[in-house]
Amino acid sequence: MSNEKERMNVGGQAVIEGVMMRGKEKVAVAVRQPDGEIIVDVRNVNSIRDKYPILKKPLLRGVIALFESLHDGMKALAYSAQVSGEEDEQLSSKEMAMTIATSVLLAVGLFIVIPTWSMRFLHSLTNDPMLLNLAEGVLRMMIFLIYIASISAMEDIQRVFQYHGAEHKTIYTYEAGLPLEVENVRPFSTLHPRCGTNFLMIVMMISMFVFTFLGWPNLLERIASRVILMPVIAGISYEIIRFAGAHCDNPLVRCSIMPGLLLQKLTTRQPDDSQIEVAIASLKAVLPEYADEAKQKEESKEEVTEAIVEAEEAPAMDEAANENTLQEKATND
């Protein structure tokens, strides 16, 4: 295993009966099929940040990372649904774009339009823009928490949350420099400071602070300002998450990310060993130090397949040879 300085940041996401892991150069989705076999799909990371280095600058990189994570996450979900047997066909590019657009519109409606529109009922009690913006932020946070609590009660989602816990435990194991084996992964926490849940909580808190200073224009202007500023808030939140992941031993950092860690108690569950195995398979697929191991396993699998094919063909070849021998003998007689 590589030392601490060489160890790269790895992100992940739980999907249907599987886990997606994203490293510096590879993205892998590992899914357990209905027959129990783990299928791993590995792709190269194609980030627009590699084409335009300026997008790797602080704040900008957070915005790009958010949209790329959304795109990769939706593709991983569609793939896992197909492999796990939940869907018969994989989504086309057009269907994927429509799904992402619909998700964004629903998020804007639920977390921006409804909270700021609802303040009309409070406006009769106060005209203080700071109080109105603060109340809107509190309502947005409440809607978010109610949404998370509601979906966490669903049985199918709870299984996804188990894979979410397996993802965190596996990344912790890698970061600790331990071999990626089930017995090493099992003891670690399901709560991770770089989790997307933590990111969303920080987005909510930062937006509450920023929007407080925007005054109180009409409804359409408020909605537009919140949508326009969301990439800025996402960029700030991304930098906070990066800093927290690198300095989580700092007491002040621990306090700042504690709300997000507590929220992860809703979005993660303790996984079983079979789910940990899937997370390990996904993480190994994106780590350079395990590339040779994966190649050897693939070559071994191909050798076994060839041996099986040869074994199945041998009786037929022997039978054909015996038949030719008998025909030659009959001709000679």
Position 14 scores a pLDDT of 95
pLDDT attached to residue 308? 58
Rounded (10°) angle between helices 251-267 and 155-175: 140
Which of 181, 145, 178 is closest to 281 using CA atoms?
181
CA distance 80 to 210: 37
Each residue's pLDDT tens digit, 219-244: 999 999 999 999 999 999 999 888 88
Ranges of the chain with pLDDT below 70: 1-6, 87-92, 291-333
> Which sequence spans correspond to the domains of the chain?
4-286, 293-333
Give the sheet arrangement for strand 38-44, strand by strand: 11-15, 18-22, 26-32, 38-44
d(CA 268, CA 2): 28
Question: What pLDDT was estimated at residue 42?
Answer: 94
Express each pLDDT in 141-171 by its tens digit: 999 999 999 999 898 899 999 999 999 999 9
- pTM for the predicted model, two decimal places: 0.81
Q: Give residue 5's pLDDT.
A: 45
What's the confidence (pLDDT) of residue 270?
Answer: 96
Compute CA 56 distance to the chain's CA centroid, rounded to the nearest angstrom. 21
As a whole number of angstroms, the distance between CA 211 and CA 223 comes to 11
Beta bridge partners of 15: 18
Is residue 277 within 8 Å of 182, Cβ to Cβ? yes
Where does the chain have alpha helices with state H? 48-51, 60-83, 93-108, 114-118, 120-123, 129-152, 155-175, 182-185, 196-211, 219-246, 251-267, 273-286, 291-332
Report how far residue 9's alpha carbon sits from residue 275's, in angstroms, rounded to the nearest whole number: 22
